[in-house]
Each structure stands twice: as structure tokens, then as C-alpha cells.
Amino acid sequence: MERIEFICRTCGLPGSVELESTGQRSLDSSVSKLLQYLSHDECVERKKIKIASEAKIASDISRSLVWIRLCPDEFRKPINWSKGKVEQQRRKLYSSIMSWSGEKGLYVFGPSGRCKTRFCWKLMELEFAKHRLIAAFSHSDFRQRVTALARDSQTELVRWIDHFARVDIFFMDDFGKGNSTPASEESIHDLLDKRYRENKITIFTSERAIAQSCGIFSMDRREAILRRISEMTEEISV
């Protein structure tokens, strides 16, 4: 048994290790040379911890940037509570949303100014922290994007819908606001149908109940979209 001295590659301090000879001079010599690149066990462990810590910090920074791009600035600000009857309604709505069971999606509706969208973003922030993949559109933005894709490439439109059919949580703000187009209502129907079959969570906000919001769609799609939303969400009314 031979004790080999080395200089730790991590901390630069001396160390030693015992090496049992194999009886083959060339092999023993090669192993001895390799041992010169050793580090203390405790130095290796500290380095592993440091690397893991740095990797977590980098990951947290990366996810923070993703959240900043995903969530509009106005909804990342702290909630300021005040007093009054309207504020009581807001607090009740916030409590209802934040106590979400997670088994089905949500359909949150009521008058504007009650912070429906803000509270839904607070809920999604918690889900994002659990590393759930989230996508969000207002109904009008979704309609415009679908219209543009349908005009340029039907294949790209299908791929686009398939992508958002697979995300963990899909959020549509101001559902039922504005008009509808054949392409957009067909895309919404296909998206909801796929998400329903995959048991994916979909969250809506709207000023009106489901049946009223679906009134913008044609008779061919209205009932199907209404049925899907009713089946895949829990309604919360302001």
C-alpha cells in the first residue's frame, strides 16, 4: 500500500490517498499521475452544493423572466385593498378564486372593475410556481391571431391550436367580448374540445354568464361551445 500526495484541484491545499499496487509498474505509474488531479472529498461536496445553488438561482431568474413576459405588468403589482361594499365583493371573489379546487377550470363572470382578471393572474402565479405551463390571451387577441393564421396558412393554424391544446392552463380573458368570425369560433371549438378530452384546465373571465357570452357564436357552434365550457369549468359569479 502506497500513500500518494496530491494538491487539491479545488482548494489548492495538500492531501493524500492510499493506493494499492497492482504489481504492474506502468499501470501503477499511470494511476499515480492521475491521482495528482484529485480533490478533497469535502471540497468536491462543497463544489457540488455550489453548482446546484448556482443552477437553482439561474433557473429562478429564467422563470422570473418568463413570468414577466407572460403576465402583464399591471397584474404583477400587489393588490391594494380598501373599504366599502364593492371592496367586500372583491374580497369575496378573491377568496372564491384562490380556494379553487384544481379539479376543473374556472369561468369567472360579473361586472367590470371587480378585478376578475387580476385575481385569476394571482391564482395562475401560484400554479406557475409549481412549474405548470400557462398560456393566456384575451378573446379579441385570440380572434385576431386566428384570423391572421387562417389567412396565411391553415397548416400553421392547426399547429398553433394543437400547441395551446396541450398547455397545462389556458387563460382566456374577456370571453364573449366583441364579434366572432367563422375561423375564430371554429378554432375555439376545436381548442376547447381537445382540452376537454385531455382533461386540461381552462380559465375564463367574462362580464356575462356562459350562455350570454356564447351568444356571439353562430347557431352551428354555439351549443357545442356552451356545452364544452359548462362541462369543463366551475362558475364563479361576482
- Are residues 217 and 129 part of one domain? yes
Candidate from 35-39, 120-124, 145-149, 225-229 with smallest mean pLDDT: 35-39
Write 6-10 long-range contacts (CB < 8 A, 24+): 6/35, 6/36, 6/37, 6/38, 7/36, 8/38, 8/39, 8/40, 8/43, 9/37, 9/38, 9/39, 10/39, 10/40, 10/43, 10/44, 10/46, 10/47
CB 177 within 8 A of CB 207: yes
Domain that holds residue 224: 73-237
- Are residues 49 and 82 part of one domain? no
CATH code, 77: 3.40.50.300
Residues facing residue 203 across a β-bridge: 106, 171
Rounded to two decimals, the pTM is 0.78
Three-state SS at 22? coil
Phi-psi region of 200 (alpha: psi -120 to 50; beta: other; left: phi over 0): beta
122-136 pLDDT tens trace: 999 999 999 999 999
Res. 186: pLDDT tops 90: yes
- Are residues 96 and 52 part of one domain? no
- Are residues 60 and 11 part of one domain? yes
pLDDT at 149: 92
